[in-house]
Amino acid sequence: MYIRDRAVRRLIYIPIIHTSEDFGSQVQAVKKECVARYGVQAWEHHLRTIERFWHNMSRSLRALPRDGRKIRIYQDGMPVCGQEVELARQLAQKGSANHRLVVDLVERGALLMGTEDPELLCQERGRLKSGANLSQDAAASHYDHLMERRDRYIANRINSTLRQGELGLVFIGALHRLADKLPEDIEVVQLGEPRLSRA
């Protein structure tokens, strides 16, 4: 429930759609599978849709204040490590539209926060590598448990670092569920859409 009679912290939820560059060395395998299942036209349509999505995100974020010193950025997959900006710059240089936006915001003064527990990210990478050896049900069960732990860590990280009068931006994948894990004094708004329900 949104508490109207006291100051709230505001968090804008920005969904991530991965570009082909985000898949790195696996992009050819992803492309091959998509083309085999749906055809070349579907792959090309997919790429155009993603390009439009990130173009629209970029345009929406331009409406934020030019002085970003009261903006904190939280990024899916960004470990708490002390090298967050360097990692974002490396990924932006490799073509990640998500990280290009993050770097642009950092250059405007926003603060990029380490967002995830490095140990849980390592477990996630291990799960992805071994996923082919698991049954679909077993992989889904492990994934849900691990995602829940990641979400709780991210929510705690946001709660402990986002201050009154600051704006948080969280770039996050569709499988995450943060809204019900955040305290009620954080107002969660999806970019371009009504506030997310905590239900």
Amino acid in the structure at residue 126:
G
pTM beyond 0.85, yes or no: no
pLDDT of the residue at 143 = 55
pLDDT of the residue at 181 = 94
Amino acid in the structure at residue 197:
S
Rounded distance between C-alpha atoms, residue 91 and residue 99, angstroms: 6
The larger pLDDT score, comparing residue 112 to residue 125, is at: 112
List the alpha helices (DSSP H) in the chain.
27-38, 40-61, 84-93, 97-107, 118-130, 136-161
pLDDT of the residue at 23 = 67
- Binned at pLDDT 50, 70 and 90, residue 7 comes out as low
Rounded distance between C-alpha atoms, residue 3 and residue 61, angstroms: 26
The larger pLDDT score, comparing residue 88 to residue 173, is at: 88
- Look at 20-24, 114-118, 122-126, 134-138 and tell me which has the smallest mean pLDDT: 134-138
| Cα end-to-end span (Å), the chain | 9
Domain boundaries, the chain: 9-18+68-190
Q: Give the three-class secondary structure for 133.
A: helix
Q: Give the three-class secondary structure for 90.
A: helix
